[in-house]
Structure formats: structure tokens, C-alpha cells
Amino acid sequence: MKHVRPFEGRPNGPNVSAPERAFLELLSEVGVQQPLAETRDLAESTSSLRASVLSELLRDCTNVNTVRLRLQLERELSVPWAKKLDPVGLPNQRRPACLEKVNDIYLKTVRLLVLVRRTPSLTTCPW
């Protein structure tokens, strides 16, 4: 796992996340186990996050809600790391490609059903 190391460098110590990873883990828990208001308060105090590490972790982030919440907090709060993030290569609010494909299949299915309903010869079964 990226940016996880043993606690205090102890060989058998429990793994702890870097502050940037812990911040994204916190965002991923909003609405599940973490209240949004508390997360916003914590995000305001995250002035020391390293933009380079955050960018690296965000490039691999697959949780759409985490990405959207990060973007929302960037817009609402004036945190120094947000200004340093290079938007190139970072996930944004666009849907992942897999969801675009599912949406496309859904639309084609709906169009086919409408076509079948409009064509009388297709709505009656000959057998």
C-alpha cells in the first residue's frame, strides 16, 4: 500500500497512513461512519498536506465519492495544498469509463424498447 508505514518505525508495529492518505481515507468514510460537518472542520486544519503525495494518491483513487468530496472541499475552503495540486492527471467529477459504458447500454436498451412498442408487428408474438 502506498504511503503506509509501521508506527514509529517499529518492525512489528501497526501500520499507519501518511497524513495525505489518512485524509483521503477520512473522506471515503463520510456518510458511512463520518459526519460531513466534522470532516469539513478537519479539512480546514489540513494546511500541511503535501500536494505531491496527495496528487499521487488521487491518481490511483477509484472512489468517486472521495474525489467529489475533495473537489467540493477545495472549492469551499482556502487550504494551501489545494492551490498546489496540478489538475492534469487528477480524477475529476466525470464518471468513470465503466459507468459511461453502463449508461450507454442502458440508453440503447431504452431506445430498443421504445422502437418495439412503436412497431405493431413486433409487439404481437406470432407463436
Summarised one tens digit per residue, pLDDT across range 76-112 is 888 888 888 766 666 664 545 554 555 556 556 655 5
pTM for this structure?
A: 0.65
> What residue spans define the domains of the chain?
4-93, 95-127
Q: Render 57-115 in DSSP notation, one character per residue.
A: HHHT---HHHHHHHHHHHHHS--HHHHH---TTS--SSPPHHHHHHHHHHHHHHHHHHH
- Reported confidence tier of residue 70, pLDDT bands at 50, 70, 90: confident
- Check residue 126 and give its pLDDT: 47
Q: Give 11-43 pLDDT, tens digit per residue.
A: 888 988 899 999 999 888 888 888 888 988 888
